[in-house]
Amino acid sequence: MKIPDINIDITLASTLPSSFYQSKECFDQMKEKIFASSWQLIESGENAQYPEEVFPFNLLPGFMNEPLLLVRNNSNKLSCLSNVCTHRGNILVDHPGKNKKLICNYHGRKFSLDGKFESMPEFGETKNFPLPCDDLHKVSAHQWNQFPFISLKPAFEIKSILDKMDERIGFLPVSQFRYASEFSREYLVNAHWAIYCDNYLEGFHIPFVHPDLNKILDYKNYSTEIYDYCNLQVGVSDESHECFELPKDHVDFGKNIAAYYFWLFPNMMFNFYPWGVSINIVKPMSEKQCKVSFITYIYDESKFDKGAGAMLDKVEREDEFVVENVQRGISSRFYESGRFSPTREKGVHQFHSLISKFMNA
């Protein structure tokens, strides 16, 4: 399905058409065109942090369903491999833990932790064996602090995106943030994944949808900065609320910053607060449903119930109400598309432009 090109001039541009959000054909095409070509954060928690640890996972279950394996070799280098044996397709590793070798429990094929084929019973008479295809397929991987990112066939590099994040939050000891499973949540939202992202990508709705958050954030000074494949919304507050203690050489020094909201194309949000970070991953399920993981890493728990990051569940419920209403509304025979606010919807315009670019590639 052809997606309309989005005018690069936001003052002339229109949003994606309602058909994009309703089309099963579009939804299926996104698997390869958008998600296989971009990067995903892997929710490994405290797994695969030490040498010889492995962490099996399915990439975006219910949507991509690709069996993969995070592996740390003896040198503590992180890599990502296919978790499918190259003999008959058996899943190699079922549970996270320590492994010196990767051995298939079906017929005993053995691989190194770097994915190289090592041995196979009863193959002594097999000719032209082994070949490079007998090694496990390697998937692009990049680690930022304790966070592993992978891509099946990356159309862009993720390092430059993470460097942009470091420019703003590099003063924080992110590598020391503690994974807090007790504060992590998953929400089932009855809306298209892109509608959820549309809502996240603008602060335009805050005064209308989030009255408590609006008391903390200074809407007049709320801003969006656009970068390649990512953007940043800067939440400014006043001295009466919890804000970052910024170093003197910081670009925002002198400002009362309550939150940095980073979005990474296509479906990841890194929300930094003085207490730590709430990472949101929006997972497509169908044209009308998505799951949203809230993954919590804490730096200073004494600030957890203060400031812009204190009402995450309430804000999420308010957002769900709106995006589920939009999901119902786009099926109207009278709605086709809308226009962008040049001052408030730069992030949504970028998102729609990237979707159009990737879907039409």
Average the pLDDT over 221-249 and give the result.
94
DSSP per-residue string spanning 165-230: HHHHHTTS-GGGPEE-GGG-EEEEESS-HHHHHHHHT-STTHHHH-HHHHHHS-GGG-EEEEETTE
| 77 and 141 assigned to the same domain | yes
Among 151, 179, 211, the domain-final residue is: 151
With tokens 């390869």, the residue in question is 32
Among 151, 186, 216, the domain-final residue is: 151
| 168 and 236 assigned to the same domain | yes
The pLDDT of residue 1 = 76
| 340 and 212 assigned to the same domain | yes
**Residue 40 β-bridge partners:** 150
Residue 232 sits at φ, ψ, to 5 deg, of -135, 130
The pLDDT of residue 310 = 87
The pLDDT of residue 246 = 97
| 248 and 333 assigned to the same domain | yes
Answer whether residue 104 is part of any domain.
yes
| 196 and 238 assigned to the same domain | yes
Lowest mean pLDDT, pick from 189-193, 210-214, 264-268: 210-214
Tens-digit pLDDT profile for residues 55-108: 999 999 999 999 999 999 988 999 999 999 999 999 999 999 999 999 999 999
Tens-digit pLDDT profile for residues 271-312: 999 999 999 999 999 999 999 999 999 999 999 988 888 889
Q: Is the pLDDT of residue 231 over 80?
A: yes
Answer whether residue 219 is part of any domain.
yes
The pLDDT of residue 237 = 93
The pLDDT of residue 239 = 76
Provide the sign of the torsion angle of the four alpha carbons 58, 159, 167, 265, taken in this order: negative
| 143 and 236 assigned to the same domain | no
**320 DSSP assignment:** H
Spell out the residues 6+ positions from residue 157 whose beta carbon is closer than 8 angstroms to its own.
Answer: none
Q: Is the pLDDT of residue 240 over 80?
A: no
Exposed, middle or buried, 355 (CB in 10 Å: 0-12/13-18/19+)? Answer: buried
| 211 and 317 assigned to the same domain | yes
Distance CA 35, CA 26 (A): 12
Q: Is the pLDDT of residue 346 over 90?
A: yes
Average the pLDDT over 187-191 and give the result.
98
Answer whether residue 6 is part of any domain.
no
The pLDDT of residue 216 = 93
64-90 burial code (b ≥16 CB/10 A, e <16): bebebbbbbeeeeebbbbbbbbbeeee
* Residue 167, domain CATH: 3.90.380.10
| 147 and 186 assigned to the same domain | no
User: Average model confidence (pLDDT) for the chain?
Assistant: 96
The pLDDT of residue 238 = 81
Answer whether residue 10 is part of any domain.
no
Answer whether residue 86 is part of any domain.
yes
**Number of domains the chain contains:** 2
| 76 and 209 assigned to the same domain | no
* Residue 95, domain CATH: 2.102.10.10
Answer whether residue 5 is part of any domain.
no
Q: Is the pLDDT of residue 2 over 80?
A: yes
| 278 and 175 assigned to the same domain | yes
Answer whether residue 7 is part of any domain.
no
pLDDT band at 336; cut points 50, 70, 90 = very high
Give the H or E element holding residue 347.
helix 346-359
Share of the chain above pLDDT 90, in %: 94
Both tokens assigned to 308: 């812009």
Tens-digit pLDDT profile for residues 114-169: 999 999 999 999 999 999 999 999 999 999 999 999 999 999 999 999 999 999 99
Answer whether residue 197 is part of any domain.
yes
| 290 and 328 assigned to the same domain | yes
Q: Is the pLDDT of residue 30 over 90?
A: yes
The pLDDT of residue 313 = 92
Exposed, middle or buried, 289 (CB in 10 Å: 0-12/13-18/19+)? Answer: middle
Q: Domain range holding 60?
A: 40-151
| 216 and 331 assigned to the same domain | yes
